[in-house]
């Protein structure tokens, strides 16, 4: 991991895109503006973090902005990891997709399935994603299951006191 000073230096280089730097348990996290995600990723790729290990979503219910997207980047040459986190409001959950190529910036093809999963589970819409459909739930499912206010669901467990088929005890 970049140590605390390294993280601060990266944060300064990125300037206004960075909202916060967190160095917790030897792990570095940059919290950035949602709109600047492509620029931040491109800059970090230039720094050497060229491998995107994971792209996943979080729900910070009930604090707003509620939906977070976390990008785990890995620098294989220097064996360094850094996390990039952004948070979007649940009213306007839109983020630029990391997948498509841009002029001057290669895309991250590994983001295809992972962004679809974040869309499926949290409802974050990725602008520019070539095929944003649900990936794990059936495509016409309603609701975003991994949001914290979505009920867990499941079958009720029947015990003797709430078994509908059992005749009520007499006396």
75 in contact with another protein (CB under 8 A): no
The distance from CA 89 to its chain's CA centroid, rounded to whole angstroms, is 13
Cα–Cα distance measured from residue 138 to residue 87, given in angstroms and rounded to the nearest whole number = 26
Query: Which residue among 33, 42, 43, 81 contacts another protein (CB under 8 A)?
Result: 81
- How many residues bind another protein, per CB under 8 A? 46
Q: Which of 56, 65, 105, 125 binds another protein (CB under 8 A)?
A: 56
Q: 120 and 136 in contact (C-beta within 8 Å)? A: yes
Which residue lies nearer to another protein by CB, 16 or 25? 25
Stretch that binds another protein, among 32-40, 57-65, 90-98, 159-167 (CB under 8 A): 57-65
- In sequence order, the 6+-apart residues with CB closer than 8 A to the CB of 34 are 86, 87, 88, 94, 95
The yes or no reply on residue 163 touching another protein (CB under 8 A) is no
User: Which residues 6+ apart lie within 8 Å of 149 measured at CB?
Assistant: 61
Q: Name which position in 62, 91, 155, 169 contacts another protein (CB under 8 A).
A: 155
Please, which residue, 15 or 76, has the CB nearer to another protein?
Answer: 76
Residue 160 DSSP symbol:
G
Specify the residue, 4 or 53, whose C-beta has the smaller distance to another protein: 53
Residue of the chain from 39, 51, 125, 128 that contacts another protein (CB under 8 A): 51
Q: What residues contact 53, with CB distance under 8 A and at least 6 apart? A: 72, 73, 74, 81
Q: Whose CA is closest to 84, among 111, 121, 120, 119? A: 111
Is 131:115 a contact under the CB 8 Å cutoff?
A: no
Interacting positions 10-49 with another protein (CB under 8 A): 24-25, 27, 29
Of 157 and 171, nearer to another protein (C-beta) is: 157
Continuous segment of H or E residues that includes residue 85: strand 80-88
Taking the CA atoms of the chain, what radius of gyration do you get in angstroms? 21
Give contact residues for another protein (rule: CB under 8 A).
Answer: 24-25, 27, 29, 50-54, 56-59, 70, 72, 76, 79, 81, 83, 106, 108-110, 112-114, 117, 121, 134-141, 145-146, 148, 150-155, 157
């Amino acid at each position: 991991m970049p140590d605390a000073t390294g993280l601060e230096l990266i944060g300064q280089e990125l300037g206004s895109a960075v909202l916060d730097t967190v160095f917790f348990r030897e792990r570095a996290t940059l919290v950035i503006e949602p709109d600047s995600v492509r620029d931040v990723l491109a800059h970090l790729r230039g720094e050497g973090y060229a491998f995107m290990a994971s792209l996943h979503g979080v729900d910070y219910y009930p604090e707003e902005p509620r939906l977070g997207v976390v990008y785990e980047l890995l620098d294989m040459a220097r064996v360094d990891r850094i996390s990039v986190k952004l948070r979007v409001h649940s009213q306007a959950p839109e983020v630029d997709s990391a997948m498509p190529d841009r002029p001057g910036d290669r895309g991250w093809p590994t983001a295809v399935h992972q962004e679809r999963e974040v869309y499926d589970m949290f409802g974050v819409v990725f602008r520019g994603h070539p095929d944003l459909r649900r990936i794990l739930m059936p495509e016409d499912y309603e609701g975003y299951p991994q949001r914290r206010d979505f009920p867990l669901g499941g079958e009720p467990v029947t015990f003797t006191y709430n078994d509908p088929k059992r005749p009520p005890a007499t006396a």
